[in-house]
Amino acid sequence: MWIALEKEFLTESRTKTVHIKSLLQNTKKDNLSIHEYFVKMKGFAEILLASGILISDEELMNYIFYGLSSEYDAAIVNIATRLESRIDPIYVQEAQIILQKYELRLERANLVANSVVNTEFHGGSIHLANLTTDTTQTKYQSEHSLLNMGQHQFSPI
């Protein structure tokens, strides 16, 4: 009887382990923040550890990289280079901090891009095609405008 229970437990345990490993390999960041994504991925690694399977920091980071979109490629290359370095290794916490900072930069860039688009397409007064870098023309236009204003203010009635 004990042997049957042990076999059933081992089968269930292996099935759970295979499932958690599959989640670790296939989970994408999608709409999660970097912080939420790391918590989820580290949670999978902790479940596997409780089952007796150790996931190294390097292996965990590779799973994490796989789940990130291409917009994170610049940060991933930086972290992966340090990950391969034996002189200046990087650990999961530091990789998380780097990616969180990178996420903030992406969000800021998206805000700026959206602001320009909203200004351009929703009644703003920015028209990039009309900007000029010729300072002499700008100076002439400014002086000409001032002269015209002066003529209109002081012209006889």
pLDDT per residue as tens digits for the range 105-156: 999 988 877 766 565 555 554 444 444 444 444 444 444 443 444 444 444 4
The share of the chain scoring above pLDDT 90, in percent, equals 50
Q: Any idea where the domains of the chain sit in the sequence? A: 15-123
- Predicted pLDDT at 29: 96
Tell me the C-alpha distance between 20 and 38, whole Å: 15
Owner of token pair 């965990």: 60
State the angle between helix axes of 57-66 and 92-121 in degrees (0 to 180), rounded to the nearest 10.
20
Q: Is this model's pTM higher than 0.75 or not?
A: no
Tell me the C-alpha distance between 78 and 81, whole Å: 5
The mean predicted confidence, pLDDT, of the chain is 78
What is the number of alpha carbons within 13 Å of residue 150 lying toward its C-beta?
6
15: confidence class by pLDDT, cuts 50, 70, 90: confident
